[in-house]
Amino acid sequence: LPLIPMECRCGKVFCKLHRYAAEHQCTFDYRKMAAKEIARNNPKVEAEKLRKI
């Protein structure tokens, strides 16, 4: 490995050429992580229901 090894989110260490997920068949699910982060940062907003007159 080069002087600066890159650690992937899948837990493996790669050189600068293979650090990207597409280059080493990464098993980490980036879409699921992004969906969880979006859901966490944007909580559901519910307004009070109006009473019928």
Q: Is the C-alpha dihedral spanning 31, 37, 40, 44 positive or negative?
A: negative
- Cα–Cα distance, 17 to 26 (Å, whole number): 14
3-state class of 30 per DSSP?
Answer: helix
What are the extents of the domains in the chain? Answer: 6-41
User: Look-up: residue for tokens 């907003």?
Assistant: 45
State how far the alpha carbon of 7 is from the alpha carbons of 12, 16, 27, 32, 43, in Å. Answer: 6, 10, 13, 19, 31
Kindly report the pTM of this predicted structure: 0.57
Segment 1-53, tens digit of pLDDT: 557 888 888 888 988 888 888 888 888 999 999 999 999 999 888 888 888 87
